[in-house]
Amino acid sequence: MAVNVTWERLRELAGFRAEKGCAISLYLNLDPSVAPTAGDAQTRVNSLLDEGEKSNGANRGDLTHDERQGLKADFERIRGYFQTDFSRDGSRGFAVFTAGLDGFWSPLPLLEPVPDGIKVGSAFYLAPLVPLVGRGDGALVAVVGREQGQLYRLRAGQLEEVVDRFEEQPGRHDQGGWSQSRYQRHIENLVSEHLRGFAEELDRQVRRARSPRVVIVCSEETRAELSKLLSKEVEAALVGWTQAKAHATPAALLEIARPLLEGSRTEEEAKVIERWREEAGRNGRASAGWGATLEAASDGRVDVLLYHDGVDHPAWQCPACGRASVDAGNCPLDGTRLEQRDEGLDLAVHQTLAHGGTVWAVRSRRDLDPVEGIGALLRY
């Protein structure tokens, strides 16, 4: 089953460094418009593996015989996996991370497409995964009516039911000898109790999940009453209200909720960029451009790395400590000769994650264009 990439998973991959051999990272785009059949996917896998076998990383002059044999075995393992064990199962992208001599093997089916690519090095190539982190995973979708209350959590691209409350209200045949006004007040009190109970349950779920984004699906009449019952924690997590047809399926509910979740991400991105603009404008806790950002990331000062999706830049890296720079020369910390790398963005991502920071692939704003497409909010 395809999975959403989490920060925990990304940090786990970022923390790996091959000690005995080499690390291979393969990415495969499975968007139906690119790879409509299994044969198309297999052809592109074979092409990627051929590219990987011919790459500079796989043909470095300092590789030992054992390392070369380990690489050969890893390439064959990937080829065999796609021939016999691979299943799309709803995936729109796929990644494989392996370092056989170090005992690492991890196929990763993805919910979103990724560009085809293969890299061989001492660490895994992670930049293509950053734009996929989260993507609404963990969000709560509440469906509320006068009698029912259902709560779904978004996990691995699907809504999973976590709460189902149904409290049938009395019908007209239950009126008995009551007056119409007393009977109507009785029904409204029951509805209010039901909504209050659901609001309390929603509050518990929000607190338990540490303030996930929340979408509420209900009628305007229900919204008017329910909105008065929401806790401050739920109000802070709420990204929007919407409506759906009765008995809508989880898949239909997700399609209704997705624009609100994406809109929330765009708003959050705008806030992060505005913080960066403010800090950079007064020479505060912000870096701008490749040189300053790689230096800050290597020093462990980056809180949030920001970059335009798709940007990259050649860089240099210390093979001993991993420090990154845009300039050749020797490492300022240990004097080791720096080695050239084609993927400066991946170096910045690794350094940021290694020191506990997060990474944001900016999609809706172009504020970073004047500074080479990259910057960061800093801790100090």
Percent of the chain topping pLDDT 70? 93
State residue 189's pLDDT score: 76
Contact 336, 321 (CB under 8 A): yes
> How sure is the predictor about 179, in pLDDT bands with cuts at 50, 70 and 90?
low
State residue 173's pLDDT score: 46
Q: Tokens standing for 48?
A: 């990627």
Contact 23, 91 (CB under 8 A): no
Distance CA 374, CA 361 (A): 10
Percent of the chain topping pLDDT 90? 76
pLDDT at 200 over 60: yes
Q: Closest Cα partner for 155 from 361, 1, 363?
A: 1
pLDDT in tens, 77-94: 999 999 999 988 878 999
> How sure is the predictor about 166, in pLDDT bands with cuts at 50, 70 and 90?
low
- The arithmetic mean of pLDDT across residues 134-139, rounded, is 75
Distance CA 124, CA 137 (A): 24
> How sure is the predictor about 198, in pLDDT bands with cuts at 50, 70 and 90?
very high
Length of the chain: 380
pLDDT in tens, 301-338: 999 999 998 899 999 999 989 999 999 999 999 999 99
State residue 128's pLDDT score: 95
Contact 96, 78 (CB under 8 A): yes
Backbone angles phi, psi at 232, to 5 degrees: -65, -35
Contacts of 184 (CB under 8 A, 6+ apart): none
> How sure is the predictor about 2, in pLDDT bands with cuts at 50, 70 and 90?
confident
pLDDT in tens, 230-268: 999 999 999 999 999 988 999 999 999 999 999 998 999
- pTM for the full model? 0.83
The residue assigned the tokens 């209050």 is: 196
> How sure is the predictor about 190, in pLDDT bands with cuts at 50, 70 and 90?
confident
